[in-house]
């Protein structure tokens, strides 16, 4: 089968995890792995796989536009604001893994079809990918929920420089996306970097303020959504709830990573890279089929 070439900008934790996932894809192959640090582990890994690498970041794609059709941006929110303009000019399908809010907000389980027609999609945040589908399912049962709160707890060891740099954008982008996708009137998002040893798994606790929850219906909708997400994030599972107490419904979601590049406790990375590769593969399949017609 013909494969579509992708470029990866950013050679840190997320970029390298993407590289490993792309390398085993039936529909994708890496045409360029670009960053700025010549000594990064990601660059060394890519070279060992025979992948074309560069330390000129997006300039490498500007100088050789034919190296890829899809570009994963795993840099930072600030850098993507500059990269987005260049990628649009080059006609690339941009998959933004930073909380920049530049492109169309994307949660594959909810709006994949719309996002395949966009030229730049934003995968929000790891907490957003984990929680928004569950909140969406809850709002189907109780559209009158007025307040939702998300607390995402991740291991400090799985939070690289990019994650730490983007903490403010993480909370703001996640909150905005919750409100946009679900229609809840008010939302709040919190991220906790847990230094515990051994490192903890990614946990997302979702609180919904409601007086008379229909728990059986909530369970059915949440279970259906969980199964949908597990199709592209195998380590995703609901570990608690929904349970009701004192006018509040609590649901907990855990994400175990595949262990492609980083340990399995880095589910916060895995959920967003799995979502990114899922979107890229669907884009590739759609375009490969269209070219054969």
- Angstrom distance (rounded) from CA 176 to CA 102: 13
**158 three-state secondary structure:** helix
Same fold, 4-123+271-292 and 126-266: no
For the segment 35-61, the average pLDDT, to the nearest whole number, is 94
What pLDDT is stored for residue 131 in this prediction?
97
For range 15-25, the mean pLDDT: 96
The pLDDT score that the predictor gives to residue 249 is 98
Nearest C-alpha neighbor of 148 from the set 161, 136, 160, 166: 136
What are the boundaries of each domain within the chain? 4-123+271-292, 126-266
CA dist list (Å): 3 to 22, 29, 60: 11, 6, 21
Domain spanning 126-266, CATH architecture: 2-Layer Sandwich (3.30)
| Long-range contacts (CB closer than 8 Å, 24 or more residues apart) made by 287-293 | 287/4, 287/69, 288/1, 288/2, 288/4, 288/27
Q: What is the CATH number of domain 4-123+271-292?
A: 3.40.50.720
Asked whether the beta carbons of 275 and 282 are under 8 A apart, the reply is: no
Map 187-232 to HEC letters: EEEEEEEECCCCCCCEEEEEEEECCCCCHHHHHHHHHHHHHHHHCC
- State residue 185's pLDDT score: 93
Q: What is the pLDDT of residues 61-111, one digit of tens each?
A: 999 999 999 999 999 889 999 999 999 999 999 999 998 889 999 999 999
- Catalytically annotated residue among 67, 68, 126, 274: 126
Sign of the Cα pseudo-torsion (287, 288, 292, 293, in order): negative
**φ, ψ at 82 (rounded to 5°):** -80, -45
274 is catalytic: no
Percentage above 90 pLDDT, the chain: 86
Residue 158, pLDDT score? 86
* pTM score, whole prediction: 0.93
Give me the count of residues in the chain: 293
State the angle between helix axes of 41-48 and 13-23 in degrees (0 to 180), rounded to the nearest 10: 20
Question: Average pLDDT in the 267-289 region?
Answer: 94
């Amino acid at each position: 089968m013909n494969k579509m070439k992708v470029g990866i900008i950013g050679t840190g934790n997320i970029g390298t995890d993407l590289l490993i996932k792309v390398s085993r894809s039936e529909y994708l192959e890496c045409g360029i792995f670009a960053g700025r640090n010549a000594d990064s582990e990601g660059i060394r890994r890519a070279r060992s796989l025979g992948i074309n690498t560069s330390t000129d970041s997006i300039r490498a794609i500007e100088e050789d536009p034919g190296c890829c059709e899809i570009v994963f941006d795993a840099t930072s929110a600030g850098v993507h604001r500059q990269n987005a303009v260049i990628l649009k000019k080059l006609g690339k399908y941009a998959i933004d893994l930073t909380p920049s809010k530049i492109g169309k907000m994307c949660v594959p389980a909810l709006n994949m079809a719309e996002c395949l027609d966009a030229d730049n999609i934003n995968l929000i945040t790891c907490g957003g990918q984990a929680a928004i589908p569950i909140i969406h399912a809850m709002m189907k049962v109780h559209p009158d929920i007025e307040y939702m709160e998300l607390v995402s707890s991740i291991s400090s060891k799985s939070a690289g420089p990019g994650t730490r740099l983007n903490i403010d954008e993480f909370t703001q982008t996640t909150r905005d996306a919750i409100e946009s996708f679900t229609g809840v009137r008010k939302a709040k998002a919190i991220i906790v970097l847990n230094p515990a040893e051994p490192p903890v798994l990614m946990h997302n606790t979702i609180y919904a303020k409601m007086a008379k929850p229909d728990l059986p219906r909530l369970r059915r909708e949440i279970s259906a959504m969980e199964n949908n997400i597990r199709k592209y994030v195998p380590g995703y599972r609901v570990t608690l709830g929904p349970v009701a107490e004192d006018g509040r419904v609590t649901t907990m979601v855990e994400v175990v990573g595949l262990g492609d590049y980083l340990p399995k406790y880095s589910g916060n990375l895995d959920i967003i890279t799995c979502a990114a590769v899922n979107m890229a593969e669907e884009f590739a399949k759609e375009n490969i089929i269209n070219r054969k017609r």
